[in-house]
Amino acid sequence: MIKSFKTIPFFCVLFFGITNCSKNIYRKNIQPDKIVSLKNNFKNNFYVGAAINENQILEKEIGSNSIIKKEFNTISPENSLKWMFIHPKPNTFNFNVADKYVDFGIKNKMHIVGHTLVWHAQLADFMNKVTERSVMMNHMQNHIKKVVTRYKGKINTWDVVNEALNEDGTLRESIFLKILGNTYIEDAFKLAEKADPNANLAYNDYNLCKPKKRKGAIRLVRQLKQNGAKVNEVGIQAHWQLNSPSIKNIEESIIAFSKLGVKVMFTELDISVLPNPWELVGAEVNQNFEKFEGDEKMNPYTTSLPETVKNKLAKRYQDIFKLFLKHEDKISRVTFWGVTDKDSWLNDWPIKGRRNYPLLFDRKNQPKKAYHSILDLKSVSK
């Protein structure tokens, strides 16, 4: 009797062992491109990717690193290729992390994005002190030549110039405009093309779905092309809210940019769910909202996100991806600005120390309703 009781657990172990074992064999037999994931479900439409941070580049985050490998076929460096990090002094380049970023992309067979060559923010200090045109031109030439040549044939798309426009569509008074004059954008594109003629070259900015700024960007790209610069793509950053921009404004932008003969990319997609009482939109990094730090009204979801808001976020993402699919012929890439909610810059902007929920994966690396709402639009085989 006692003996037969002992045999029951033994058979259970044997049975579950075999079942699990056969599941593993089954899993191993699934072809990698048949696994349900963002990159597989949308593989016939556009690249889907994420910006990755230094820990993820160095593969220190097991949870989010496995999401990156499973879900995405393109990566962008959230900070690691910015001027202040890779070119901190006139003749000092530090490619340590940038090299690892590119290796990570190659190893995982990803479309690799370079972000960004010419941007007024996160620039090296020495650049902000330059007053002579010839000196600044030298630095810019040196920077673009050195960085683009190093990753020639490896970085597939470059954000050549980032955020050069004001909200009214005129050129921003950046240090580049002040010292180099308004031809600096064209020069930057030509230098990038010279260094890697096969790379895709892009202009990247936020609020490009707002009519005035969109007009400015259209004017800029048209002019660049007329003057012989190669511009392959326009990056609409897509730091958006639950209710804005409208689907109509996004659609108008996709159509308007694609009429210029460029592909449209959504390069920094995230959707803030937190209060935005000042009608603050976009991603201007120079605004200061210190006075609101610690204000509970500004940070309402400190433990979790209510179901109603989860549903709103899922619906918003689904509506956006429906539109992307409708215009898939015009869109080359959709990149989220971060992997999980924990990583997002929106936890610290525009007010430090808030808890935001803008991405598809939660703080425990689990897919959210928003993830499924997008995935459900397409099956792997469609």
DSSP annotation string for 284-319: -TT---GGGTT-GGG---SS---HHHHHHHHHHHHH
**For ligand G3I, the closer CB: 37 or 162:** 162
Which residues, numbered 12-31, are part of the site for ligand G3I (CB under 6 A)? Answer: none
Residues 334-363 contacting ligand G3I, CB under 6 A: 345
For residue 277, whether the previous peptide bond is cis, meaning omega lies within 30 degrees of 0, is: no
Site for ligand G3I in 253-272 (CB under 6 A): 268
CB of 344 closer than 8 Å to CB of 270: yes
Give dist(CA 170, CA 158) in Å, integer: 23
Cα Rg of the chain (Å, integer): 23
The size of the interface with ligand G3I (CB under 6 A), counted in residues, is 10
Catalytic: 59?
no
> What is the torsion angle, in degrees rounded to the nearest 10, for the CA atoms of residue 275, residue 277, residue 279 and residue 284?
-70
**287 sits near ligand G3I (criterion: CB under 6 A):** no
Q: In the bound complex, what is the minimum distance in angstroms from residue 94's beta carbon to ligand G3I?
A: 12
Interface residue with ligand G3I among 285, 298, 309, 323 (CB under 6 A) is 285
- Which of 81, 143, 146, 67 is CA-nearest to residue 112? 81
Query: Among residues 19, 66, 94, 122, which is the contact residue for ligand G3I, using CB under 6 A?
Result: 122
Q: Is 259 exposed, middle or buried (0-12, 13-18, 19+ CB in 10 A)?
A: exposed
Kindly tell me which of 345 and 371 has the beta carbon lying closer to ligand G3I.
345
Closer Cβ to ligand G3I, 202 or 375, answer by number: 202
Which is closer to ligand G3I, CB of 185 or CB of 375? 185
Reply yes or no on whether 186 is catalytic: no
When the beta carbons of 51 and 256 are compared against ligand G3I, the nearer one is 51
Contact status: 55 vs ligand G3I (CB under 6 A):
no
C-beta of 78 vs 233, nearer to ligand G3I: 78
Contacting residue, 283, 313, 334, 351, with ligand G3I by CB under 6 A:
283
* Closer of 65 and 344 to ligand G3I (Cβ): 344
- Residue by residue, DSSP assigns 322-352 as HHHHHTGGGEEEEEES-SBGGG-GGGSSSST
Please give the residues from 223 up to 242 whose contact with ligand G3I meets the rule CB under 6 A.
237
Q: Which residues contact 18 (CB under 8 A, 6 or more apart)?
A: none
Shortest CA distance to 275 belongs to which of 300, 294, 303? 300
* Partners of residue 165 on adjacent β-strands: 171
Q: Choose the catalytic residue: 61, 71, 233, 268.
A: 268
Looking at 35, 97, 121, 298, which residue binds ligand G3I (CB under 6 A)? 121
Closest CA to 219 of 200, 234, 239: 234
Nearest residue to ligand G3I, scored by beta-carbon proximity? 345
User: Which residues from 146-185 bind ligand G3I, rule CB under 6 A?
Assistant: 162
Distances (CA, A) of 186 to 116, 118, 130, 205: 15, 11, 20, 16
Closer CB to ligand G3I, 45 or 237, in the complex = 237
Which of 71, 78, 163, 186 is an active site residue? 163
Using rule CB under 6 A, residue 79 touches ligand G3I: yes
Place of tokens 């511009």: 231
CB under 8 A, 24+ apart: contacts of 364-368: 364/63, 365/63, 365/64, 365/66, 365/67, 365/340, 368/310, 368/313, 368/314
CB 362 within 8 A of CB 341: yes
Interface pick for ligand G3I out of 71, 78, 186, 233 (rule CB under 6 A):
78
Question: Smallest gap, in angstroms, from Cβ of residue 113 to ligand G3I?
Answer: 11
What are the residues binding ligand G3I (CB under 6 A)? 78-79, 121-122, 162, 237, 268, 283, 285, 345
Enzyme catalytic residues? 163, 268
